[in-house]
Every structure is written in structure tokens, then in C-alpha cells.
Structure 1
Amino acid sequence: MDGLISVAHGLTSEQVASAKANHIPRRSSRSLSAILRANVFTLFNLVIGVLWALILIFGEWQDSLFGLVIVANALIGIIQELRAKRTLDRLAVINEAPVRVRRDGAEREIHPRDVVLGDLILLGPGDRLLVDGEVVRSDGLEIDESLLTGEADAVHKQPGDQVLSGSFAVAGSGAFVSTRVGTDAYAAKLAEEASKFHLAHSELRAGVANFIKYITWLVIPIGALLIYSQLHNSADLRTAVTGAVAGIVTMIPEGLVLMTSIAFAVGVVRLGRRQCLVQELPAIEGLARVDVLCLDKTGTLTAGGMDLGEVLPVGDGTARTTQAQPGDRAAHTEPGDHTAHAARAVPVDRRPADEALAALANLDEHPNATAEAIRARYPAAPRGWTARSTVPFSSARKWSGADFGEHGAWVLGAPDVLLRGGACLDRATELAATGTRVLALCRTASLAGTERGEAAVEPVALITLEQRIRPDARETLGYFAEQGVTLKIISGDNPLAVSAIATGLGIPGGERSIDARTLPHDDPAKLGELLDTHTVFGRVSPQQKREFVAALKARGHTVAMTGDGVNDVLALKDADLGIAMGAGSPATKAVAQVVLLDDRFATLPHVVGEGRRVLANIERVSNLFLTKTFYAIVLSLTVGLAGMEFPFAPRHSTLTNALVIGIPAFFLALAPTLERSEPGFVPRVLRFAVPAGVLCAVAVLVSFWAAHSGTSTLLEDQTAAVITLFLTTWWVLVLIARPLNWWRVVLVGAMAVLFAAGLALPFVREFFALEPGDLGNDLTAVGVSLVAALMTSVAVKLAGTLRP
């Protein structure tokens, strides 16, 4: 008896104080020490650090300026990730749904980390289980364990059954006592990973990593050849060391990883300011590639809540029908079957629709939107209407019901699910075609028989509900249409009603609707064709949503799925990008990569735009850095094999890299763009960087050779090579910055002005060892650069037309 009293009242404050708490480290971002290690202890920092030390020992300090990139890379990377960390940690706390428990005999909401062993935890539809436990109360409680078992069907739970963390309630209500908390819980690691700031697979990151890996292997032999050549042919050790270091440093795309990280981190911060939580960094990449967006009508196109419209009693006998369910046996019953008798015995007269509605709406202590709308008109259940048994609403059944004893058994749900033919269903279809949500209130002989499709149901009234369209829906949908993103409206409601809403909002193809129950289940190819040709899908089951995502992905689409209900979880999990609403169920938010914390559908264009900005700009930046890498490889190989002096010193490389790569790359990486990224990042970058890099190297070598064959000094020869290097790579910058708008013109123009100023100002010339004293050499350099720029434009255009 004491145990039962304890369960009914929950733990006392004294018991809570001494019980084991549900402490699981929050991992929404990397720790401070991990951020420091990741940005300081890198292979590139090691290589550049060694080269920096060599220059400080053998050369002049001005040639060691490239070493400052270690400090800049580390500081910028650390600062940006710390900003992202603060944003994510703050949003992760907001995203953590409270847990309802009973303590000291009273219900209260607590933080998930405050749950303790032995707590009595209350459950309603959409609640996620954060700890393991044993069910002690069940009112039609159904638990979805698909995230643990992979099985889509919900499991009915009775007192004494075990429940596991990582699952979630989809219907009914109940309570369980926690038996394993913290790291002892079955799905503690799963729950941790669901909100972890981690690096999943990303074509962009994989491409950059491959570039880095291959370049590292090239640097070792080419660097060794260059060092040998410079030591063997140079007049002194200082010149040999500085020449070798200049070649090796230029080959390393030291800023590429940094700019990639900055672009991702800034994207996270920008979206965070719009109350958008990005739970996985590569989700930003997915945003840019989306070409099909599946919208769940409820909660995305329509705002939360509904308003009860009319209660229309059914007055003629022609409306009487039986439930349309697979395996219906109402017309084929055996002698003595109570369902056959019930089908003949249900009388036709007006039923107390108001009382039945009030009783059904006030059954659940955690009502859904439909029940809340009815409760607004019927705030209390009528006297004497006590439920003996209930069937909670679920998205699979599409109806709920209760047996009220002498008042009969009643069900409320979708007319086209509960009814089959007749004037009542025809009238419901007419109402639904106007965009109104319609429910059928029916009396049934048996709840259990109704669920199996065996019992007769009699329509009593049609209920209309007015849905609240989001005020920002039309503008947001228009944005996606302009950007070439195909919309698919997926809903559990009547397809005619959904189509009316879609058409009213101006969705292209909104009139092309289909009832998902007629779609093929065993022919993915046919399903994919229908998905491509239709826009609105009604009466979609949770499992079908998952099939839709798979079929669209199989046809080569990049699919984003939005949702807020527990019926959306499986589809969100399988989509390329899952987007959950902040007011949605905890389970939905746990599996989504992006959570719109403020429930603003209008945030989605900013989400997609941010993804496109990040990817398009990182591709531009990659083109810049890898052009430098390829011209450095060609220069180093040629110099090493020919046994000639390197055409410029490290400080020359620092100057040109800063003006045509470092400064522009920072602005280009953060610039707005509307381009939708396509797969094939690595081939596209190579098609640009290889020809551009090779032609830049050839132009530098020609200028240096022409100058070196005359009577000018080595410094004048190197200055001619630097002029050519700047002009050719500056033209590459112009090509990459396209399409040119006012600020991009200002950016590339400013870089040219800064270089010209560097040549004109004596103290700058002295600092960077520039001596433009030989007019013939300098004019030759300009001429060679013009020819190289023209050839680069042609080569890049031709290479861009090639496709693997």
C-alpha cells in the first residue's frame, strides 16, 4: 500500500534530494579545450611554423611575415567557434523541453537534468522519454520506439511494461517511474547525439579534406626537390633557404580550412540570431542543395490552433453507413456475431451531438488542437458522461473515441475514414473542398470493433473547423517558387481541403491533389512518378511520409522535410534535411537538423539563403586558394628541375597573397548569394584552379626569364615576376568575384590600388624588397600578364563546359 501511495503522489522533496539525478553532459558544441586544440595543433601550423623558424634563422625578418598566418588562423578560428558555441549553447537550453513529473502529490514541470531516479514522470502525445522506466498508468498510451528498433508501428503500453529513453508517446496518456537515469539509460548516447554539434558527412568538407591530403603529399617531394635545387645552384645559403621556403609556403592553402570553418560558424551565428538552431554544421550545406521542400500543412502553412465552426446534425437515414477499413466484415458476419446485430439495430434519429462533443473534447488532460478548439465552445463535459474505455487519437487511425456506457460509444474523426458513401460523406466532401477541415461525429456499436473495421458506425453530425493560415505563408511560398524549389504539401487531412488551402496561397500546382491511400506501396518507381507530377497529398500516413522522402531521393532530389508532430519524426529523420518547429513535439526536435525555435515559417527563406551563401562562397574561396597552390606547384617543379633561382621571395608571396587571396577571400566568404549549389564541388574547383594556376605560373616564369636574360639585378627581375604574379592572380580574382556588383568592383579595384601604392611608396617598396627600376622589364611583365589573363579567361570557360 505504501508503494502505491508513493507512486500516486510521486517522490517527496527529501527523496528527490538524495536520489540519483539525470546528469548527462550537454554536448551542443565542442569544449573550450577542444576548440583550442583543433585550431592550434594542426598539420599546417606545424609545417608553417618550421618554415617560419628557418626564415628567422637564415633570412630577413621581413620574409617571415607569412608566419603570422598561424596566429591569424588560430585567433580567427577560435573566436568564430566560440561565438558559435555561445549561440548553440544558449539555443540548446531553449530547445530542451521541460519534463512533467509528480512530486509531493502535485504536478510540476522540471528541467530534464533535474529528473531523478524514482521520479513519477507524466506522458502525453509528443512527449519524448529521456530516461528508462516502468509504466504505472496507461490511458490508451502508445509509444513509438522506431528510433530504437526501426519498427514504425506504435506499441500499446500497459502498467508493468518497460519503456526506454529515446522513444516517444504518440497517443494517449500515462505515467511511468524512472528506473535508469543519466548515463545508465538505454539511449543516453542516442539522446546526446540527437543534439550534438558535430560534423556529419559533408561533400564540401570531404572535398576540402581531399585537397589538403593530396597537396600535403605533393609538398613533401616537391619541397625536397626545391630545397636541393636552391642549395645546389644558389650563390649563398640565405638565398637558397628563402627561395625554397617561398615555393613551399605558396603551395600550402593555409587559409582554405580557416575560411571554410569561418563560413560555417558565421552561418550558425547568423541563423541563431533568427532563433534558428542548427544542430549539425553540415545541415548548412544541405540547405543550399535542397530542390524539393515537403511541407506538413499543420503547423507550417497553418498556425497553431483552430476555431470551431459549425456543428451540422445529420438528419436523414441515407447518411447511415459503416466504417471503410481494410478487411471490413460488417456485411459478412457469422450467426451470433454481435456486430451484425449492431449493424441492423442502430436506430436513425437525432443524437445529442453537443453533449457527445463536449464529452469527447474533455476526455484528455492533454488535448490536441482539435479538442482545444471544441473545448473553447464546450468547456466542460456534461454530467453523467463518464468514459468506461477510450481510444486516443493517432495519425494512423485518424479518429478517437470513447464508450460512455448508457450514453453509447462515440467516435470523432475523418469522414472519409469513418464513413463509406452516402449523403453525409458527399456533404463532407463539399465542405472540405472549400478549405474547411471537416470531422464526422458518429455513434458506434463497439470501439474495439470499430478499430478492427468490424463494427457499424452511424453519422450523427459533421463538425467544421476553421484553420488559421500563417500570415507569412504566401510570401514565403512565393520565395521558394522564385528560387526553383519544388513544394510538396503533405498532410493527414482531406486532400480537397488541403488543395483549397494550397491554391489559395498561390502554390504552383496546388490544384493537383491526390489521396495518398490510392498510391502504390510496392512500386517505388511509380510512386516517384506520382510525386513528381502532383503537389498536394492528403490522408498521408506516417509511414507514407517516410516512403515519399525515399522515393524523391531515389529520383535524385535533395529533400527537405518540415514538421512539428510526432507523425513527422520518421520522415524528418530520413530526409536530407529535417526542419522542426520549436513548438513541435520534443521527439521531432530531437531528430531534426534545424529547429525553428520561434515557429516562424518565414524564417525558412533565410535558412535556405544562408546555406546557399555558405556553399557558393566557399567554392569561390577554394578557387582562389587552389589557384595559388597549383601555380606554386608548377613554379616549384620547374625551378627545381631547371636548377634556376626562385622568381620571388617569401615577402613577395605574402604581399600578393594578401591582396588577391587573403583580404578578398574574407569578404567573399561572407557575402550574400542566391545561387543554389549543385553536387560536384571538387571537379568544378579543379576545372577552374588547374588551368588558371598553370597559366599564372607560366606567365611568371616567362616574365622572370625575360628580365633575367638582360642586365637587370636579381631584385629587379623578381619585381617583374611579382608584377606578373599580381596581375594574373588579380584577374583570377575578377573572374571568381563575378557577377560583379558595386561592392565587388570596389573590392577588386581597391586591391589593385593597394598594389600600385605599394610600388609607388618608397617605404613599402623597401619593406617588401620591390625595385621597379627597369621600365623594359616592367612593361614586359604587364604585356605577359595581359596575354595570360586573356588565355586564362578562355581556358576557364572551356574547362567549365567540360562535364565528367
Structure 2
Amino acid sequence: MARGDVNDVPARSSRSVREIVRANVLTRFNAILGVLFLIVLVVGPVQDGLFGVVIVANTAIGIVQEVRAKRTLDGLAVVGEARPVVRRDGVARPVAASAIVLDDVIELGPGDKCVVDGRVTAADGLEIDESLLTGEADPVHKRPGDPVLSGSFVVAGSGAFTATRVGREAYAAQLAEEASRFTLVRSELRSGISEILRYVTWMMVPVAVGLVASQLYVQRHDWREAVRRMVGGIVPMVPEGLVLLTSVAFAIGVVRLGRRRCLVQELPAIEGLARVDTVCLDKTGTLTEGGMALTEVRTVDDAVADADVREVLAALGRAEPRPNASLRAIVDGCPDGSGRLRPADALPFSSARKYSGARLSGPDGGDGATWLLGAPDVLLPPGDPRLAEADALGARGLRVLLLARSGRAPHDPRVTQGARPAALVVLEQRLRGDAAETLAYFARQRVAAKVISGDNAVSVGAVAARLGLAGADEPVDARGLPGTPDAMAPAVERGTVFGRVTPRQKHDMVTALRSRGHVVAMTGDGVNDVLALKEADIGVAMGSGSAATRAVAQIVLLDDGFSALPSVVAEGRRVIGNITRVSRLFLTKTVYSVLLALLVVVSRVPYPFLPRHLTLLSTLTIGVPSFFLALAPGDERARPRFVRRVMRFALPAGVVAGAAAFASYVMARAVYGGAAGTREAQTSAATLTLFVVSMWVLTIVARPWTWWRVLLVAAMAAGFVVVLAVPVLQRFFALRLVGAEAPWGAAGIGAVACLVVEAVWRRNGEG
């Protein structure tokens, strides 16, 4: 450590506090509004700079919420990080990946991730998948002396390697860091908002120039008044809260999921969840609990005694240093009393092979016999009568393995040929108590659930049927599927339960579903799920699963709670649905602000509003309501084309609002004529109309109605009434309704505009 030979690659799960502050403060829109705020401070009065308070408040909210999310994410990442087993002073113990030093001896087992580079010192059927580095899916058989690269993971066997390169010198050392880093990858929601705001920025400069020119040279205002009116026209164009609310919604989503013990490794994964329409589930560890129980050993060879079978099973369990759930159940059910069989030349279990084996010799030594333990339909030829017996047991939801004897060496590719069956090993799989309810939730939400497992198709179908999954009575054996994603797409889209699926097929099946336009989430806990998790739109790993699955997944269920998946999906839908909702508010304001500025320039009249008027309207009809609406519950399925869907309403609604406000202003100018001191009354009439239309837009966006949404809208309306009724607020905001003709005319224009906006909403099919 003193020499620096330590694996000190910094692994962060989130941005630093300094980065969070900088990202929320130094934004394009804070810069624009900040400059306009400074201009108002120069030209005065200060109440026209109220939007400056909004900048500070919104930025502060963003910083606070993201720091909260950072703390949650950092804490969860520590729980979910991989802890390699390191052998020091003859004792093997787990340590943090950052504590590994040069020349450490690191033990490996199925599912372990290699966090540093090294060289193999011991190997027992060790197979390592380097697909994360090379793209090659086939596992590489490792022998002593072979290199090991960071970022790879063990798919079969066990062994140990010595660390030769650590820290920043390790090949692909950044992979472990990237797996848990706070990232802002491209998403439809963020890119759509950025596109909209880019267009707004382009429009601001020419509109500002036109407003200043019209107020200076046409209306003959002094430069201070011209600048004030220009600021009043420009500030509403900037949807300053939209980007902020998006970040806040994402951040709060992380906090909420964190409370449910869900580690979100990439924030946009929350958005992706909203778009999921297909969930691919691995049976073991997802629908069933990880543990199993040995219920029966059924001898099928009269020449082999039951006691001998159990002794062979115990020896096979002893041959595997890191047994999987099935082998652990067998070891627990067949305690090894004599220990007279000694395993040698062991072949570890592989999800691609579907069997394991070893050469077992007695106390007198000799070559011994090769025993295999695995899937009956893999070890037996088609038509063997034992297959029917195994299928009958599998149809009851039991897991069945075959113990067979072979005359070939365990590593011989033809070891299964001519294997003689000895016994059927029957295991009971315990269903998760929450699995049936979770599958029912997906059915109600029209999210297709597909069970993809390496187990026997009949057995998988029986388990799924017990959980009430529709289509489980027609399981598909994946060995009969075509070999390419395009060819298998129709069968995968049509089927519900698939058995005997290889890791490569899982990947291809996810690819096939995505090629048909589906948004796919994949759950898994074993190394055989890694390729599919990488290919899926959203990868969901179990916390107790292998380090490799946790590294490539976007979401980790730390408590293995399958029942958390509905909450995860619902959280994603809540975020994107609410951001779509409040985007309509912000962009309606942007549209009517641009239209008003253009109408003022063309008609050569004074700009009807001061900055304080539009700050009041924005606060009551957009700012405060959007904050509550962005965090509201909701599970509406997200739809694509975010920009188009938002603008289909915001554009016509903004045009109607802007035209109505301008019409009311022109009407008030005609009513009051050129009487002295009527400019405030003219502005008040236009403000009343714009408030009425904006409130109706809010009532539309807030649907469907709930008690708190009615209360929210009523409170905003009451706030405006208070401003009009209290003299000190009238003077502060320069609002005063004079006479009856203009105010009632403004209210009537607003009512007609509301009817038009409602018609637009219904015409778009969203009413």
C-alpha cells in the first residue's frame, strides 16, 4: 500500500456535492434569467425582478433533492458492491475491491467478477466469460498460468488467481466503476426537453430585439421602460423549471426506490421502466425461492442400491467447491457418512451444458467411474422411458435431475453418449409468496410476462401455472426454436413459458422481442442471465445473485424482493407521466409568450405586461402546481414521441391563450380610450384573461381529479383573488380592475378561450 500497489480506482455511485451544485447553478437558463434579473435591478423597480427569487428557490430545491438522492444511492451501492474473497496468511476472507493489493491471491467461483488483472494459479474446471470485454459470448477454459482480465466473470468451475495489475493499470478497470456510477445517458425525455429548449433559445434574441425597438421607437418609451417591457416579454419564454423538475422527479424516484431496497445504478433507468411492455423472468430466484429441498431419490437401475446412489450424490456434492442451489439441497439431503468415494477430474455445472460430473474412485484407488448429474432430457436419448417419468414429476412443478454413469472421462465431449441412468433426483421448488400477486399486477397493467428458464419446459410451465400465469399450459422447449433472433421472433412473441433455454438463447430472445418493437425488462440472478440483462432495455438483478449480474444491471433488488418490481415499474410510469403533464404547462406559457411578443411588434402597441405580472401568473398557474403535479402518484403507461405529444396540446393552447390575452388588451384600450392613468387598468384586464385561460389549462393538465388536485387548483385561484382584493398587493403587482365593462369583457373572452382549449384537448383524443 505504501508503494501505491493497491486497487485504488475510485468507484462512485453518484456525483460529488460540488458537481451537483455546479450542475444546478451553472445552467444555460439560470444564466439567461440571471442576466435579465441584473437588468431589472438596474432599471427597477425591484418587484419586476421577482423571477429572481424563483431562480434561487428552484435551484435550491434541485440541489437539496439531488443531494438526498446521492446519499441514498451511495449507501445502497456500498451494500450491493462486490466483495472478492482474498486468501491472506492462509485465511480466505471477503474484502472490498479497493483493498486488493498487488500479488493478492483471489479465489473464484461461479458468478464471481474479476475486479483486477491476474494470472491463474489454480483451476478446477474454471471457465471465464470475457464477453464484457471482447464481445465473445463463449466462455474461455482457464488453466494455471493463463491470464485473467478485470471485467470478466466466472461461469463455471472454481479456482484462484494472483493479482498482477491493480488500480488504474488494470485492463478495463473502469468497468467496475461505470457499473455503479451516477450517469445521465441519453433518454427520450431529456433529449426531447433539450430540443424544445434549444428552439426557445433561438427565438429569444430576435424577439428581444424587436420588443426593444418597438417600445423605443414606436411607443416612444424611455429606455428604462422599454427594457422593463422587453424583460416582461422574454422571461416567460424560458421554461426554467422544466429541466429542474425533470431532475427532481428522477432524484426523488431514486430515493423512493431506495426505501424499497432497490439500487438504481443509472437514473434514466427510471424513465425506461415507464416504457416497459414486456418483462422476461427467470424462474429460479424470481418465481421460486433460491433454496430447494430434496424430496425423493428414485432408483431406476436395479443393479444400484439406494444407499450407493446417496453416497455417489454426496461425493458429487463434495466435488463442487461452490455448489448451486440444486446441489446444496442434494448435499443437505444426502449426508456423507463414510466418505469412501473420492472425487477426481471434476466437471463443474454449466448452464450451457445442463449437467456436471466427476470421476469417483473407491478407497482402493484405480480409475473409478464417471458419474453425471443433470437434466434428464440432456443425458438421455429421445424416447427413453425414464423421460416420461421425469416429465410426469416435472408437470407437478417438481425439479428433476438424473444421476447417470458413463464410461468416458468427465471432460470428454461425448461423455453423455451411452450414459446409463441410475436414479431420478426429485427436488421441490418453493414458490415465492409474492410471485402470484406480482404476475397479476403485470396482467392488469398489460405488461406481458414471459418466463425464460434453463429448466425443463414442462416443469417451468407447471410452476407458472400454479402462479396463475396465462399461457403457462403451453410451455415451449427452446431447443426447437430457430437459431437466429429474427427467425425465433414470432414464437417468442406468441409464447409465454420457455424451458431449456441456453444463455445465448436468452440473449437472442430478448433481441427478438426488441426487434418487434417491444420495450423489454429482464430479471435474473445467475451468470447465465448476464448476456440477456445486457441486451434488455432495462436489466434487473437480484441482490443475492452473482456480482456479474449486478454489474451489468441498471436496477438491483437488494432484498431479492420480486414484489418490488411493480413498485419499480410504477415509479417509472409516475416520473415520465408527470413530466409529460407539467411539460404542457411550461410550454403553453412559452408559446403564448412568443405570440404576445410578435403581436406587440407587429401591431405597434405597448407590451401589455410587466415582469411582475407574468411572474405572478407563472407562480400561480405553473410554478407551484407543477411542483406538486410532478411528484404526484400515477401509473399511466408511457407513450413514445414525447415532444410531439406535448406540443400537440401546448402549441394550440398557447396560441389561444396568447390571442385571447391580446384581444382583451386591445378591447381594454378601446374601452378606456386615451384616459390618463388607464395603462394599469388595461394591463389588469389582459392579466385577468390570461389568468382565466391559464387556470383552465391547469385544470386540464391536473386531470383526473382527486381531492388534493381540486384543493390545489382552488388555492391557486384564491391566491389571484387575494391579489386583486388586497390594496397593498394591488399596488405591489400594479393590478387594478376599473369599472365593469372591461373586466367583464376580459372574463368573457377568457371563458370563450377556455372552451376552445377544451375542444383542442378533446380533439386530440385525450379528453
TM-score range, shorter chain: over 0.9
Residues 580 and 594, structure 1, Cα contact 8 Å, conserved in 2? yes
Aligned to 1:439: 401
Aligned to 2:211: 226
Q: CA deviation at 1:508?
A: 1.4
Q: How does 1:709-788 map to 2 (within 5 A)?
A: 709-711=670-672, 713-788=678-753
- How many angstroms apart in 2 are the aligned matches of 1:120 and 1:198? 33
- How many angstroms apart in 1 are the aligned matches of 2:519 and 2:195? 23
- How many angstroms apart in 2 are the aligned matches of 1:184 and 1:149? 18
Q: CA deviation at 1:17?
A: 6.6
Instruction: Note the alpha carbon deviations across 1:751-789, whole angstroms, 9 max, x for none.
Output: 111111211111211111111122211000100000000
1:170 matches 2:132: no
Name the SS of the counterpart of 2:483 in structure 1.
Answer: coil
Q: Give the letter for the 2:191 counterpart.
A: A
Name the SS of the counterpart of 1:393 in structure 2.
Answer: strand
Instruction: Note the alpha carbon deviations across 1:667-721, whole angstroms, 9 max, x for none.
Output: 0000011101011101001101000000000000010000011226000000001
| 2:445 equivalent among 475, 480, 483 | 483
Name the SS of the counterpart of 1:255 in structure 2.
Answer: helix
Q: Give the letter for the 1:85 counterpart.
A: K
Instruction: Note the alpha carbon deviations across 1:277-327, whole angstroms, 9 max, x for none.
Output: 1111110011000000000001100111100110000036xxxxxxxxxxx
Instruction: Note the alpha carbon deviations across 1:356-385, whole angstroms, 9 max, x for none.
Output: 101001212221111110121223374231
- How many angstroms apart in 1 are the aligned matches of 2:109 and 2:18? 40
- How many angstroms apart in 2 are the aligned matches of 1:478 and 1:789? 41
Q: How does 1:61-210 map to 2 (within 5 A)?
A: 61-210=46-195
Q: How does 1:271-310 map to 2 (within 5 A)?
A: 271-310=257-296
Instruction: Note the alpha carbon deviations across 1:164-189, whole angstroms, 9 max, x for none.
Output: 00000111100000000111110112
| 2:754 equivalent among 783, 789, 793 | 789
Q: CA deviation at 1:450?
A: 5.4
Residues 195 and 590, structure 1, Cα contact 8 Å, conserved in 2? yes
Aligned to 1:334: none
Aligned to 1:589: 550
Aligned to 1:4: none
TM-score of the pair, normalised by structure 1 = 0.92
- How many angstroms apart in 1 are the aligned matches of 2:727 and 2:623? 24
Q: How does 1:352-371 map to 2 (within 5 A)?
A: 352-371=308-327
Q: CA deviation at 1:236?
A: 2.9
Instruction: Note the alpha carbon deviations across 1:3-24, whole angstroms, 9 max, x for none.
Output: xxxxxxxxxxxxx776611111
Residues 314 and 350, structure 1, Cα contact 8 Å, conserved in 2? no
- How many angstroms apart in 2 are the aligned matches of 1:22 and 1:449? 36
Q: CA deviation at 1:123?
A: 0.3
Residues 671 and 741, structure 2, Cα contact 8 Å, conserved in 1? no
Instruction: Note the alpha carbon deviations across 1:129-162, whole angstroms, 9 max, x for none.
Output: 0000000000100000011111111111000000
Residues 393 and 400, structure 2, Cα contact 8 Å, conserved in 1? yes
Instruction: Note the alpha carbon deviations across 1:84-105, whole angstroms, 9 max, x for none.
Output: 1111111111111211011011
- How many angstroms apart in 1 are the aligned matches of 2:212 and 2:336? 88
1:547 matches 2:508: yes
Aligned to 2:36: 51
- How many angstroms apart in 2 are the aligned matches of 1:445 and 1:161? 30
Equivalenced residue count is 756
Instruction: Note the alpha carbon deviations across 1:565-603, whole angstroms, 9 max, x for none.
Output: 000000000100000000000000000000001111111
CA-atom RMSD, angstroms?
A: 1.6
- How many angstroms apart in 1 are the aligned matches of 2:739 and 2:551? 68
Moved more, 700-709 or 372-381: 372-381
Q: Give the letter for the 1:640 counterpart.
A: V
Name the SS of the counterpart of 1:464 in structure 2.
Answer: strand
Q: CA deviation at 1:744?
A: 1.1
- How many angstroms apart in 1 are the aligned matches of 2:341 and 2:270? 53
Name the SS of the counterpart of 2:292 in structure 1.
Answer: strand
Aligned to 1:617: 578
- Counterparts in 2 of 1:106 and 1:520: CA distance versus 1, 3 Å: same
| 2:251 equivalent among 265, 288, 298 | 265
Q: CA deviation at 1:425?
A: 1.4
Q: Give the letter for the 1:221 counterpart.
A: P
Identity %: 55
Aligned to 2:540: 579
Name the SS of the counterpart of 1:440 in structure 2.
Answer: strand
Name the SS of the counterpart of 1:176 in structure 2.
Answer: strand
Aligned to 2:45: 60
- How many angstroms apart in 1 are the aligned matches of 2:337 and 2:491? 45
Aligned to 2:498: 537
Q: CA deviation at 1:257?
A: 0.6
Residues 315 and 350, structure 1, Cα contact 8 Å, conserved in 2? no
Moved more, 446-455 or 408-417: 446-455
Q: CA deviation at 1:539?
A: 0.2
- How many angstroms apart in 2 are the aligned matches of 1:356 and 1:234? 102
- How many angstroms apart in 2 are the aligned matches of 1:218 and 1:502? 57
Q: How does 1:222-261 map to 2 (within 5 A)?
A: 222-232=207-217, 233-261=219-247
Q: CA deviation at 1:350?
A: 7.5
Aligned to 1:329: none
Name the SS of the counterpart of 2:92 in structure 1.
Answer: strand
Residues 450 and 457, structure 1, Cα contact 8 Å, conserved in 2? no
Residues 359 and 381, structure 1, Cα contact 8 Å, conserved in 2? no
Q: Give the letter for the 2:426 counterpart.
A: T
Residues 387 and 404, structure 1, Cα contact 8 Å, conserved in 2? yes
- How many angstroms apart in 2 are the aligned matches of 1:733 and 1:399? 62
